[in-house]
Amino acid sequence: MATLTNVLFLRHVRGEPTAHLIFFRDGKVRRSGVGLAFWFLPLGASLVEVPLDDRELPFLFHGRSSDFQDVTVQGVLTYRIAAPAVLAHRIDFTLDTRTGLHQRQPLDKLAGALTQRAQELAIGELARAPLRALLDAGTARLRDAIHAGLVGDAGFGEMGVEIGATRVTSLKPTAEMERALQMPAREAIQQQADEATFARRALAVEKERAIAENELESKIELAHQEERLIEQQGQNERRRAAERAEALRIEGDAAAARRRTESVAEAGAIKVTEEARVTAERDRMEIYRHLPPAALMGLAARELAGNLPSIQHLSLAPDAIGPMLTRLLQSGADRLEGGNGS
């Protein structure tokens, strides 16, 4: 925006390098250019300033598709003024010589014209296709249609307005229609999720079945091994019993043989002892046969005395000792007679 300075009855104007300044005096162009600075008298003078920088114009349209569905289009236009002198004759860019501001709103007027043309192009493009086709095509198709229509518009070219770029940021249906359009995708995703869940459950069931089969096979194998173990243990027990029986038999045979040997030895010893005893008894009897009666009586008395218990007191009656003395005396007499005769 140009800067104006008031000094008494004079005015000083200084233009910006991004704006084209035109000074009129008495209806004629006295100065025209970019970044001008000069003094002037306000009487009979007028100033026109046309911006030359790129300007962005946001827009928001509501249109309808071919299947009568409301659609909202949002985007931005970029434009610049390529022929300021031409546009100054079409739109009023006159400045107030006291404040330096535009007396009208020329940029708003230009923006309104661009917006209306862009809306017209957008509505026409939206009406050519159903909603789903528009959404499937995205924003590129609509953007190209709006940009081509603005660039090809002869009116803007004659005004000296150049379209730089067109951007469409969103293309959206109503909230209810958007939810309705999202429903099939949601259902498909949910169906895929359900299928994944079913597949996971089926896989889990299959794994559980495989695990159960493995456990059953393991139990069967363990049962077979236990059966073989029991059979082997039975065989081992029978073998141990047979070996113990054989060992007992052998031990019994050995004990019997030992007892027979001992019996034979004992019988032999007894036989020898008895034979010796019999021989000794026979020899003794043979000795006794040749002894006189008195000697025999003496031996008998000694034997009797050896076998009798201890006698503390002995009482002899006269009728018992008399015959015994008589026999002893007779025996002594006989022995004496026998000695004399011999």
Cβ-contact 61, 16 below 8 angstroms: no
Cβ-contact 121, 152 below 8 angstroms: no
What pLDDT digit, counting tens, does each position of 78-103 carry? Answer: 999 999 999 988 898 998 888 888 88
- pLDDT classification of 297: cutoffs 50, 70, 90: low
pLDDT at 2 over 50: yes
Helices 293-307/318-341 angle, 10° precision: 140
Share of the chain above pLDDT 70, in %: 83
pLDDT at 342: 45
What pLDDT digit, counting tens, does each position of 186-212 carry? Answer: 888 888 888 888 888 998 998 888 998
pLDDT at 276: 78
| pTM greater than 0.95 (yes/no) | no
- pLDDT classification of 179: cutoffs 50, 70, 90: confident
What pLDDT digit, counting tens, does each position of 51-77 carry? Answer: 999 999 999 989 999 989 999 999 999
